[in-house]
Amino acid sequence: MLEKRKFKRKHLIFNLTVKDRDTGLPLGRLGDITTAGIMLVNKDPIEVNSSFTLDIEVPKEIFSKKQLILTAKSMWSRKDDASGLYDTGFEFLDLKARDIDALLGLIVNFE
């Protein structure tokens, strides 16, 4: 598969939950992250080309807020044959400078 990623993804050492802010339901666990997007791991597939308001739960020791809220679009989803789980890639939309700073802090503190 041709690699289209512009940024090198960082795999996190902590298992962070990401929820759909509109429904309050979990979308999955954070698998990896860049300042451009994330990959979530879940037992169910996520519809591609859908926009979500993501609520990323972060430890309060790292951030003053308990969550990071970002808008993203699901770009791809595929089943991992080894684990039986689905990996879904999201691209962040309309990031502000403070969002990028928060993402960089998350990457630095958890890699």
* Full DSSP string of 4-17: --SS--EE-SS--E
- Residue 47: exposed, middle, or buried by beta-carbon count in 10 A (0-12, 13-18, 19+)? exposed
pLDDT at 9 over 70: no
The beta-carbon contacts of 75-82 under 8 Å, at least 24 apart in sequence, are 75/37, 75/48, 75/49, 76/48, 77/45, 77/46, 77/47, 77/48, 79/45, 80/41
Q: What is the pLDDT of residues 61-103, one digit of tens each?
A: 666 667 889 999 999 999 999 999 999 999 999 999 988 888 8
Tell whether pTM > 0.85. no
Q: How far is CA 29 from the centre of its chain?
A: 8
Q: What does the pLDDT read at residue 62? A: 63
